[in-house]
């Protein structure tokens, strides 16, 4: 007794290899997208920390209190203050920049004004 095999009964080896290759390409693109998303989240975390520190420093300057805070969420920042006179002698323009230690470019720059009587 002989049986005949239906040619549509299952996958051939070539079809299985092609299917695995397509799945591997899909998995690689998914992995690449996840890696890029992780990097973006890290960048947003760094910029948010820089913003909080710059805002804290500007508020401290406006109140006339010392501020030595330069670390947030495990990251160390270099905070720079620049003060300029304005056309109003009672106001000083303050620019606060926050950059990660070891980097030259500020992640966040904040401009504000403060009373000239409060500042040293």
Which residues partner with 38 through β-bridges? none
Write the pLDDT tens digit of every residue in 61-117. 888 888 888 888 888 999 999 999 989 888 999 999 999 998 888 999 999 998 887
Helices (H), 13-98: 13-63
Write the pLDDT tens digit of every residue in 6-55. 666 677 888 889 999 999 999 999 999 999 998 999 899 999 999 999 99
Which residues partner with 109 through β-bridges? 97
User: How many CB atoms are closer than 10 A to CB 47?
Assistant: 13
| The pairing of beta strand 91-100 with beta strand 71-72 | unpaired
Question: 13-115 in CATH: which number?
Answer: 3.30.1300.30
Q: 82 Cβ partners below 8 Å, 6+ apart?
A: 94, 95, 96, 97
Question: Full-prediction pTM beyond 0.85?
Answer: no
């Amino acid at each position: 007794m002989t049986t005949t095999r239906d040619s549509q009964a299952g996958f051939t080896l070539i079809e299985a290899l092609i299917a695995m290759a397509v799945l591997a390409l899909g998995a690689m693109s998914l992995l690449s997208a996840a890696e890029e998303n992780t990097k973006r989240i890290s960048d947003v975390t760094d910029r948010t920390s820089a913003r909080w520190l710059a805002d804290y420093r500007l508020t401290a300057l406006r109140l006339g209190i010392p501020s030595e805070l330069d670390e947030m969420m495990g990251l160390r920042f270099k905070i720079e203050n620049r003060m300029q006179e304005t056309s109003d002698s009672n106001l000083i323009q303050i620019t606060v920049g926050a950059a990660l230690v070891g980097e030259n470019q500020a992640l966040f720059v904040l401009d504000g004004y403060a009373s000239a009587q409060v500042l040293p």
